Structure 1
Amino acid sequence: MMRLADRAILVRGWRRWLTAFAAGAVGALAMPPFGILPALVLSLVPAVWLLDGTVKDGPSRWAPFRSAALLGWFWGFGYFVAGLWWLGAAFLVEADQFAWAMPFGVLGLPALLAFFSAFGFALSRLLWLPDAWRILALAFGLTVSEWLRGHLFTGFPWNNPGMALGQNLWLMQSASLVGLYGLTFLSVAICAAPAVRLTGRTMRARWTAPGLAAALLLGLAAFGAWRVPSEASATVENVRLRIMQPNLPQDAKFNPRNRDAIMRRYLTLSASPGRDGNAAAPTHIVWPESAFPFLLHRDPASLAQIAALLGPGSTLITGAARMDDPLPGEAVGKFYNAIQVIDEKGTILGAYDKVHLVPFGEYVPKFLDTLIRAAGLRQFVHIPGGFEPSEKRAMLSIPGLPPVAATICYEAIFPGEIVAEGPRPNLILNVTNDAWFGRTPGPYQHFAQARLRAVEEGLPLVRAANTGISAIIDPFGRIVDKLPLGVEGVLDTSLPVAEAPTLYENWGRFSLTATLAICLILLMARRRRQISLK
């Protein structure tokens, strides 16, 4: 086994880059739906050895850092290609218009995201130290780069390495303390530590880091077992939810010619007896994101059909595009991807407009939009000019429900952005449409990330997805009930009560900053000591 470490350290040229790519690709198996935690070990351990091999790369002082950055790029490229290949499915929904762009999504986006890994590896190399200290350096570098990936250029924290710990019920409970990026630091530190077992200078050094990593993993599991109560969460009185999952294919969902058939399907499903056949009348019905191939708020006939569906005192919560009245001089108003609340009279009581839009999916930067249209192309969404983002996040008020933190589609993957400033909500609502990605790992990854937000915030999650996975999640991340991917049906359930604010909700950003600052101070102090001993 030690020969294996030596070979990874000494490998050069294209073999080094290919090894890094393969190691990164293996790491993607730690993400949903596979959730194989040892895969991240098999990914990060070679990464440590490969970084060890950059020590004497080239005569220049900066040569090792350039090598580390290139190494990180290949590692990240493998990780993101293997973890995000399913994005290509979206280009095949309307293949005649978008198939040509499929390589840009399947290979181009991973190539761009890999620059964050390149930065993380280079930063780690800058702080590199012998033995177990280099594990802390890698955890520090990748945590910083992952935080940047989640925030720069509108952010895209999909398949963050912290999700390796964010899928198991017990292990995910630490997110209530440190959030996703804290889990990133822990995941990298734990999974990279076995590298020291084969390269430590002494027997003590070889066992200390892996032993501490194993103890830390057991400690996280023990904390999770302690935190999750043995009994089910209490429920909110007088609330009976019905989540409708129509399982419409994307090519049919937004075709205006199918509007009547789509509405009939929604109404029939929503009025069905449910799985147990004896469910009480729902107080709230939830439909998924952008449910209609038309503007619901400008369609009195459809609102009347919804009113006929709803019983006295019941409410519909649905995704629906909406348009403002055009301003003077404008041909059309601005379009928003929204959630609308409708009462038993067919009256729209309120709406939440999406804040965090999907680049190139829901909008295109203005200068690029002009070029795209000049070339005779268009974006995925059939909306003139794309959607407009809401200016700020706000709670959604729904009769009969506690205050709601509403999220649409991938807004649920952003830690720390769920709750608006002001009074705390008691519920996270997520409506989404993952039909773009079929029965690939994408919807499973999306669901797992939304589930982790419930643990971070200590809030129940109500999720309605067009093709799945629709579910009710309690504040501890336990799945109360769900509809699997690719199934048509309704989900009748009660609403779990929210827990007290978590440590992450109150101190999340401070705790991450403090952890990284302490780690940096320790690494710098150790490095100075090493230099002084020389």
Structure 2
Amino acid sequence: MASLLQRRGVSSLLALLAGALTTLTFAPFGLWWLGPVALAVFYAVLQQTSLRQALWRGWLFGAGMFGSGASWVYVSIHDYGNTGGPLAIVLTVLFIVAMALFMMLPALLYRLCAASRLDVVAFAGAWVLGEAFRSWAFTGFPWLFLGSAHVESPLASLAPLGGVYLVTLAVALSGALLAKILLARVWWLLAPLAAVWLIPLALPTQWAGPSGDEVTVSLVQGDLAQLSKWTPEGQRDAANTYFRLTREQALDSDLVIWPETALPMLEQQAMPFLQRVQSTLPADSTLMTGIMQRDRNGMFYNSMISLGEQPGQYRKAHLVPFGEYLPLESLLGGLLQIFNIPMGNIGAGGDDQPPLQAHGLRLGVAICYEIVYPELVRARAEQANALVTISNDTWFGHSIGPLQHMQMAQLRALENNRYLLRATNNGMTAIVAPDGHIMRQAPRFEPAVLNGTIRPMEGLTPFTRMGSWPTLLLALLMLLPGGILRLRRRDPHAH
């Protein structure tokens, strides 16, 4: 086996296939147990390689991962971005090539710090630091983190303890231990491998408890066509659809939530209509909706507002590059014109915006893509007793993208032990329990209203209190023994 892995063609192919295998761990496939298997293969193909070979195999792993797991990018660019097939393919391939570069970092860190007998520990630390770097660099792309697949696995209890990075750490360590056991026949490593999976079973998943009365909620899903949404006819259709669904199925709720840009118009234009809808609800009910705002300086904001007794607003703080704003606009010029996006350049809201409030709920808000950032949502959850996220996943059609997006939202609920309300334009609209499980879900690709109840949650999980830094510090410490030993070997005067 070891000699076979040293063949360059075999190892390169295995790295590519192992990366593709990770996609099966996520929704909708749910084969979370394949995560350690994929990383066991990756660990194996990195053995006895030069730095150049390690970087190449890291890139191949990334190409397999993003080529399969982020294939939905093509749907967004081609089907809804008004981009021709050949150009959409080129842009998708460029995206995959660029994202795969990030997977060279854990391969590099591992090869630099694999000099000790604790190389399995170094591998796990390198992988986690690689994911952390990817969540930060160039505004970040924290998609396909291996820990996100484990909402319903035996490792789930690690999420409220240390967040997605701690779950990922367990997955990566499991993969390295598994490979070491099979390649080197070091059978005593079965004990720590078993401990990685058995210890979480003894840990609680709930660190917070319900406090306060039940609140009835209605999440309204209009299922409007994206391509015609911003036309005058589409605006009228949106107003009629959301008013009708609310009047017919949501009038008895304390809280009614419409999704991101439910009404394809500016707040100033929509406000008379929204106030009319609010007036049809019971006196103590609250209507919340996603809406585009424009300030006095002409800057647009992707926002969520609440009407009723406690009006408020939240403006999206973490924007999507090339989707909501154009990085290096002076250099890239008219690139954004390739895409058919109604409002390309959007301003960012502040990081310290307070929760929206209604009926004893302090709702920490995340708009669309923001929900995939664990630290952003954690900061919101510190001040909130429930979470709400609105999204327009219509951009991704029938691809696997919205299903992965939903799974990451579930993990945010679990990390912070908060009920999470997710209202979308065409699915996945759902109510998520504090343990990350979906309580109720609306059917996809049809108009619907999802009714249910939630309660405020009080108390903070260890992750909500401390964030990701303890796990990242642990990952860094896991690299130190090998790194120090490597430096000593290079220095003949070291003692």
Query: Same-fold call, TM > 0.5?
Result: yes
Residues 196-247 of structure 1, C-alpha deviations (whole Å, 9 max, x = no match): 12321xx5xx213343212211222332xx4359xx9747426211111122
What does residue 199 of structure 2 align with?
Answer: 219
Deviations 1:467-494 (A, max 9, x none): 1111222222132222243343111111
Distance 1:395 1:301, change over 3 A: closer
Q: Is the 8 A contact 1:116 1:149 kept in 2?
A: yes
Alpha-carbon deviations, 1:279-315, whole Å to 9, x = none? Answer: x811110000011221133245423542343222211
Query: Which of 421, 424, 429 is the matching residue for 1:470?
Result: 429
CA contact (8 A) 2:215 2:455 kept: no
Return the alpha-carbon distance in structure 1 between the equivalents of residues 36 and 218 of structure 2.
Answer: 41
Match of 2:264 in 1: 293
Deviations 1:415-439 (A, max 9, x none): 1112448972111110001011112
Higher relative contact order (CA 8 A, sep 6+): 2
How far, CA to CA, are the matches of 2:380 and 2:73 in structure 1?
33
Q: 1:189 aligns with which of 145, 160, 173?
A: 173
Do 2:260 and 2:291's aligned partners in 1 also have CA atoms closer than 8 Å? yes
- Residues 16-25 or 154-163, more deviating: 16-25
8 Å Cα contact 2:16-2:63 kept in structure 1: yes
Tell me, in whole angstroms, the C-alpha distance in 1 between the residues paired with 2:468 and 2:20: 30
Shift, 1:32, TM fit: 1.7
Aligned match of 1:339: 304
| Gap regions ≥5 residues in structure 1 | 55-63, 275-279, 327-332
Q: Are 2:494 and 1:498 equivalent residues in the alignment?
A: no
In structure 1, the residue matched to 2:420 is 461
- Whether 2:344 is the aligned partner of 1:370: answer no
* Residue among 167, 182, 190 paired with 2:151: 167
Q: 2:15 aligns with which of 6, 17, 20?
A: 20
**Partners in 2 of 1:468 and 1:85 — Cα distance?**
19
Corresponding position of 2:386: 427
Instruction: Kindly indicate whether residue 101 of structure 2 is the aligned counterpart of residue 125 of structure 1.
Output: no
Q: For 1:221-260, list aligned pairs within 5 A.
A: 221-223=201-203, 226-227=204-205, 234=210, 236-237=212-213, 239-260=215-236
Residues 11-160 of structure 1: pairs in structure 2 closer than 5 A = 11-12=7-8, 14-54=9-49, 64-94=50-80, 96-97=82-83, 99-129=85-115, 133-160=118-145
Kindly state the Cα deviation for residue 270 of structure 1 after the two structures are TM-superposed: 1.4
Would the alpha carbon gap of residues 198 and 173 (structure 1) be closer, same or farther in structure 2, given more than 3 Å must change?
closer
CA distance in 2, matches of 1:234, 1:422: 15
Q: What is the aligned partner in structure 1 of residue 318 from structure 2?
A: 356
Greater alpha carbon shift after TM alignment, 386-395 vs 69-78: 386-395
Contact 1:176 1:502 in 2 (8 A): yes
**For residues 214 and 416 of structure 2, what CA distance do their matches in structure 1 show?**
24
Larger mean Cα displacement after TM superposition, 521-530 or 95-104: 521-530
What are the within-5 Å matches in structure 2 for residues 307-326 of structure 1? Answer: 307-326=278-297
Cα shift readout 1:329-356 (whole Å, capped 9, x = no counterpart): xxxx111000011228xxx932111000
Instruction: Tell me, yes or no, if the aligned pair for 1:138 and 1:188 is still in contact at 8 Å.
Output: yes
The residue that corresponds to 1:329 in the other structure is none
| Change in CA separation of 1:419 and 1:26 when aligned onto 2, cut-off 3 Å | closer
Question: Using the alignment, how far apart are the partners of 1:87 and 1:490 within structure 2?
Answer: 28
Q: CA deviation at 1:378?
A: 4.2
1:468 alignment partner, SS class: coil
Measure, in 1, the Cα distance between the counterparts of 2:261 and 2:224. 12
- Could you tell me whether the CA contact under 8 Å between 2:129 and 2:476 is conserved in 1? no
Closer, same or farther: CA 181–518 of 1 in aligned 2, 3 Å:
same
Q: Please say which of residues 440-449 and 298-307 is displaced more in the overlay.
A: 298-307
Q: How many residues are treated as equivalent by the alignment?
A: 492
Moved more, 430-439 or 301-310: 301-310
CA pair 455-168 structure 1, distance change in 2 beyond 3 A? same
- What's the CA shift for 1:386? 1.6
1:439-450 superposed matches below 5 A: 439-450=398-409
Instruction: Say if 1:143 and 1:184, in contact at 8 Å, map to a contact too.
Output: yes
Distance 1:485 1:24, change over 3 A: same
**8 A contact 1:434–1:465 mirrored in 2:** yes
SS of structure 1 residue aligned to 2:440: strand
TM-fit CA distance, 1:316: 0.7
**What is the rounded CA distance, in whole Å, between the counterparts of 1:363 and 1:100 in structure 2?**
24
Distance 1:334 1:134 in 2: 51
**TM-score, length-normalised on structure 1?**
0.85
Distance (whole Å) between structure 1 residues aligned to residue 359 and residue 159 of structure 2: 30
Kindly provide the CA deviation profile for residues 362-396 of structure 1, in whole angstroms up to 9, marking residues without a partner as x.
111222552437xxx3444211x521111324123
Determine if contact 2:364/2:381 at 8 Å carries over to the other structure: no
Q: Is the 8 A contact 1:396 1:406 kept in 2?
A: yes
Q: C-alpha displacement at 1:105, in angstroms?
A: 4.5
| 1:263 CA displacement | 1.2
Which entry has the higher C-alpha Rg, 1 or 2? 1
Bigger shift: 307-316 or 114-123?
Answer: 307-316
Letter in 1 for 2:236: D
SS in 2 for 1:490: strand
Whether the 8 Å contact between 2:209 and 2:459 is mirrored in structure 1 is no
Structure-2 separation of matches of 1:256 and 1:98: 25
Quote how far apart the aligned CAs of 1:15 are.
4.1
* Equivalent residues of 1:170, 1:228 under 8 A apart: no
Deviations 1:11-66 (A, max 9, x none): 12x44323311121112211222121232233222222211141xxxxxxxxx112
% same residue? 28
Relative distance call for 1:309 and 1:6 in structure 2 (3 A) is: farther
Once residues 299 and 525 of structure 1 are traced to their aligned partners in structure 2, the CA distance between those partners, rounded to angstroms, is 62
RMSD value, Cα: 2.8
Name the CA shift for 1:194/1:358 in 2 (closer, same or farther; >3 Å). same
Which amino acid in structure 1 is aligned with residue 3 of structure 2? D
Mapping for residues 503-518 of structure 1, pairs under 5 Å: 503-518=462-477
CA shift digits 1:60-96 (9 cap, x unpaired): xxxx112111110111111111110112111233464
- Distance of 1:17 and 1:518 partners within structure 2: 30
Alignment partner, residue 330 of structure 1: none
For residues 94 and 167 of structure 2, what CA distance do their matches in structure 1 show? 27
Contact 2:76–2:395 (CA under 8 A) maintained in structure 1: yes
Give the distance between the partners of 1:313 and 1:368, measured in 2 at CA. Answer: 51
Structure 2 runs not aligned, ≥5 long: none
Return the alpha-carbon distance in structure 2 between the equivalents of residues 379 and 527 of structure 1: 49
Q: Structure 1 520/432 Cα, relative in aligned 2: closer, same or farther at 3 Å?
A: same
SS of residue matched to 1:52: coil
Amino acid at match of 1:319: G
Q: TM-score, normalised by structure 2?
A: 0.91
Task: Provide the C-alpha distance between the structure 2 equivalents of 1:425 and 1:403, rounded to a whole number of angstroms.
Answer: 5
1:269, distance to aligned residue in structure 2 (A): 1.2
